[in-house]
Amino acid sequence: DAKTTQPNSMESNEEEPVHLPCNHSTISGTDYIHWYRQLPSQGPEYVIHGLTSNVNNRMASLAIAEDRKSSTLILHRATLRDAAVYYCILRASNNAGNMLTFGGGTRLMVKP
Amino acid sequence: DGGITQSPKYLFRKEGQNVTLSCEQNLNHDAMYWYRQDPGQGLRLIYYSQIVNDFQKGDIAEGYSVSREKKESFPLTVTSAQKNPTAFYLCASSIYGGNGYTFGSGTRLTVV
């Protein structure tokens, strides 16, 4: 699976939107973009995923660049409970084993 | 409610002893995975299993062993051959070929 690059950490103020960037310049045409987040001392939880079009769900939005070489996870209104490490992961559609490879992620700090 | 359960939450082991971490899921997921996480790091894949009675090594399988005798269960044994076993261990499951992982809440293993 192709590699992703994320900032090590970001800060946000409570109740403001947060844009978490992810670069994946070597993405292939069949790679899905996944986002997971991990709260302290817990297992990661699925946030959102997409292929080409922007995606929205109850947790977040995923904006995918037209060339698919980057994407942005958008939290529309950050809360203190959103403080976590956010992982951007690519998974090939022909990855029959369905394995996800986690990088270092972005540690999001939310200030009250 | 369906979910994935890891036990125990905390485990202490003396050097030279084997220890087994439990992972049970009632999601009817085909695939199960074990990851290791060291402080401030991302997750690394230890073993995975796509179907009962079959499993494959991940990136850091040395010093670990697994079994998959039932669809619901995927126990991980940390053997005395694992030189640095102190870590946070996470189990996950997914539908084969599906897009989302469900993670357990983890077991924190400390060698004393």
pLDDT tens profile B70-101: 999 999 999 988 989 999 999 999 986 666 88
pLDDT tens profile A20-77: 999 999 998 888 999 999 999 899 999 999 999 999 999 999 999 999 999 999 999 9
Chain A (23-82) residues lying within 8 Å, Cβ to Cβ, of chain B? 32, 34, 36, 41-46, 49
CB pair distance less than 8 Å for A46 and B102: yes
Q: How far is CA A66 from CA A1, A59, B60, in A?
A: 20, 23, 36
CB pair distance less than 8 Å for B43 and A99: no
B12 in Cβ contact with B23 (< 8 Å) = no
